[in-house]
Amino acid sequence: MELNLTIRKARIDDTETITNFNIAMALETEGKILAKEKISAGVENLFRHPEYGFYIVAKAGNRVVGCLLITYEWSDWRDGLIWWIQSVYIHPDFRRQGIYRKMYTFIKNLASSENNIRGFRLYVEKENRVAQNTYKNLGMEETGYNMYEEMLA
- Range from 16-30, 77-91, 119-133 carrying the lowest mean pLDDT: 119-133
Mean pLDDT (whole number) for 123-136? 84
Closest CA to 12 of 61, 48, 38, 42: 48
- Coil vs helix vs strand at 130: helix
Give one DSSP letter per residue of 4-57, joined into a string: -EEEEE--GGGHHHHHHHHHHHHHHHH-PPPPHHHHHHHHHHHHH-TTSEEEEE
What pLDDT is recorded for position 151?
87
Q: What is the pTM of this model?
A: 0.91
Q: How far apart are CA 86 and CA 18, in angstroms?
A: 12
- Sorted by where each starts, the structural domains of the chain and their CATH numbers stand as 5-137 (3.40.630.30)
Q: Model confidence over 92-124: pLDDT tens digits?
A: 999 999 999 999 999 999 999 999 999 999 988
Q: How far apart are CA 25 and CA 20, in angstroms?
A: 9
pLDDT band at 40 (very low <50, low <70, confident <90, very high): very high
